[in-house]
Structure 1
Amino acid sequence: MCGGFVMAYSSAKIDTSASSLRQFFAHLSYNLGRISSYTFLGMIFGGIGSVFTFSSHLNGYFYFAIGILMVLMGLSMMGKIKFLTSLEATIAFNPFIKTLFSKLIHSKTMASFYGLGVLNGFLPCGLVYFFLAAAATSGSFLGGGLIMALFGLATMPAMLGLGFVVGFLKGSGFREVMIKIASLIIMGYGIYMAYLGYTAAIA
């Protein structure tokens, strides 16, 4: 989902003849919007975690479920199942999302790049789900927001790099290779999380 967004706005909104500085600020605005959404969601989940007490057993079930979800998303990214495709399609074809995306993708203002980042932050992503789980178990409104803000900042270099090499990615099989590698990483981490959750639940 994140990669698709970067490919879409880089192709439709960024003129390759524009200065490198303008292109950089366009990508930066998009990423700041994404981080804003992540931080907001982290604060909400952290707030929920502060209301409910998470026992070690409940944490185990929670992480087991997140691990299985990540495995399903990895398989979906590889095209083995349609789990993620169906989830993304359900949201992407929402009339409000379609209208908002259309307006933002056809605008070339810096604010529109930020808006696309905000929109992307609320769309399905396996890694986001995992870190939201961590935000919830932090049991803190501010702690949850900080976890998600750090997650967004940590992923910014990769997203910035993707924006600048989008032309190369469109013209080669490199993107497919990277998707498969990312799928395997997500699945491996999902299995690891499910294992940790299982051991905590039965302890």
Structure 2
Amino acid sequence: MDGLNLLPVFAVGVAGSVHCVGMCGGIVGALSGALGKPGPGRTIPIAPAASAMPALAALDGAARVLAYNAGRIASYMAAGALAGGLANGAGTLALAARWQGVAYLLANAMLVALGLYLMNAWHGLARVEAAGNVLWRRLLPALRYLLPADSLPKSFALGALWGWVPCGMVYSVLLTALLAGSAAGGAAVMLAFGAGTLPMLLALGVAGARLRPAMQRPAVRTVCGTLVLGFGTLGLVRYGAGLPHGWLDALCLGGPA
């Protein structure tokens, strides 16, 4: 998978990050100190910055938000490397071309499902997230060793753990990582996706609760969902109609030639 093929993955991360507002927004705001007190849902209480000086406190909060996001993206890359490595092993077997075709169709179908999910038009991915709770319940006890996240290593570790929270959006992109055909390629796919989600979560770390209502507006979710839906639909049409490659590769996930 070359750099061009990573552009739609990055764009999916940018558009899909409106989902991150609800999934990870609370913890990011708490890490930065932007939220005055823990809110409902997924917010995790974080120790306040030790310094009483506003500038130093803000710098400390920003550093912890960066460390948290670095850990989160590292987990994405680890999952992508695992997915790409598994696909590479499967690719050595017979019927590899057919397997790649099925994976390509599934990856684009998941993007369609993700787009509808972001638009609040269909919530089938919520069932996929529920299935991921099996792994998350096993990881959850580790939180007691990371709270309060009052240091950069703890913030990084907390982000790395949070990267395994059941998320239909992450699962949909992991199917794309399968298409990379190697551990390095799978990690690159998830790095591009994580980089796409980074601006939103960094902004949440600065603006906190002030940004969350704006990003949850139906119009914003509809625009972002339509973009992701468009990528998935174009990929399915391209595969079904046998459209030529070339410039179209920049708008579609990597797939069978």
**Residue 190 and residue 173 in structure 1: after superposition, are their counterparts in 2 closer, same or farther (change >3 A)?**
same
Equivalent positions of 1:41-190 (< 5 A) are: 41-53=79-91, 54-55=96-97, 57-92=98-133, 95-100=137-142, 107-122=149-164, 123-126=166-169, 129-130=172-173, 132-170=174-212, 172-176=213-217, 177-190=219-232
Say which of 63, 72, 79 aligns to 1:34: 72
**Residue 84 and residue 15 in structure 1: after superposition, are their counterparts in 2 closer, same or farther (change >3 A)?**
same
Give the Cα separation in 1 of the matches to 2:176 and 2:123. Answer: 26
**Residue 178 and residue 167 in structure 1: after superposition, are their counterparts in 2 closer, same or farther (change >3 A)?**
same
Give the Cα separation in 2 of the matches to 1:74 and 1:105. Answer: 34
Cα-Cα RMSD? 3.1
Say which of 21, 24, 34 aligns to 1:6: 24
Q: Is 1:25 the equivalent of 2:43?
A: no
> Which of structures 1 and 2 has the bigger CA Rg?
2
Q: TM-score, normalised by structure 2?
A: 0.63
Q: Is 1:194 the equivalent of 2:236?
A: yes
Question: Which structure has more helix as a fraction of its residues?
Answer: 1
Deviation at 1:40, TM superposition (A): 1.0
User: What residue ranges of structure 1 are gaps of 5+ in the alignment?
Assistant: none
Q: Does the 8 Å CA contact 2:86/2:178 hold for their aligned counterparts?
A: yes
Give the Cα separation in 2 of the matches to 1:31 and 1:110. Answer: 11
**Residue 13 and residue 149 in structure 1: after superposition, are their counterparts in 2 closer, same or farther (change >3 A)?**
closer
Aligned length, in residue pairs: 199
Q: TM-score, normalised by structure 1?
A: 0.77
Q: Which runs of 4+ in 1 moved over 6 A?
A: none
User: What residue ranges of structure 2 are gaps of 5+ in the alignment?
Assistant: 1-18, 35-53, 243-254
**Residue 81 and residue 128 in structure 1: after superposition, are their counterparts in 2 closer, same or farther (change >3 A)?**
closer
Partner letter of residue 221 of structure 2?
I
**Residue 109 and residue 125 in structure 1: after superposition, are their counterparts in 2 closer, same or farther (change >3 A)?**
farther
Higher RCO (CA 8 Å, separation ≥ 6 residues): 1
**Residue 196 and residue 168 in structure 1: after superposition, are their counterparts in 2 closer, same or farther (change >3 A)?**
same
